[in-house]
């Protein structure tokens, strides 16, 4: 399998589609898979802790498996008309 060549200086919320057909999004710290193309997309993982502030990208909603701890000093901004569900 070929390695993925992620952008070296991504902006918050930037999406990247890899040669594997999966789409990833930059959250300010790491690339997270948004969609996949095989059985691995049956498992979406997320961190259980927010350590830096994050603003949901325009026209996007979010879902996390919880609990999710928001560390001191970190702010999660959800723009009007968008949502973040923690299940």
* Per-residue pLDDT at 42: 66
Name the more confident of 22 and 64.
Answer: 64
pLDDT by residue (tens digit) across 27-71?
888 888 876 555 555 667 788 999 999 998 888 889 999 899 999
What are the boundaries of each domain within the chain? 15-37+46-86
pLDDT of 75 over the 60 cut = yes
Q: What is the DSSP string of 42-81?
A: G-----SEE-S-EEPPTT--EEE-S--EE-TT--EE--TT
* Per-residue pLDDT at 31: 87
Instruction: Map residue 7 onto helix, strand or coil.
Output: coil
* Per-residue pLDDT at 69: 95
Question: Which residues have a Cβ under 8 Å from the Cβ of 53 and sit 6 or more positions away?
Answer: 73, 74, 75, 76, 77
Phi and psi at residue 39, in whole multiples of 5°?
-65, -20
């Amino acid at each position: 399998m070929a390695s993925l060549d992620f952008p070296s200086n991504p902006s918050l919320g930037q999406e990247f589609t890899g040669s594997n057909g999966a789409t990833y999004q930059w959250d300010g710290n790491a690339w997270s898979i948004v969609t996949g193309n095989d059985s691995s997309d049956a498992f979406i993982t997320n961190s259980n802790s927010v350590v830096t502030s994050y603003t949901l990208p325009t026209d996007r909603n979010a879902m996390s498996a919880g609990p999710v701890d928001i560390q001191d000093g970190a702010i999660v901004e959800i723009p009007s008309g968008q949502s973040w569900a923690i299940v």
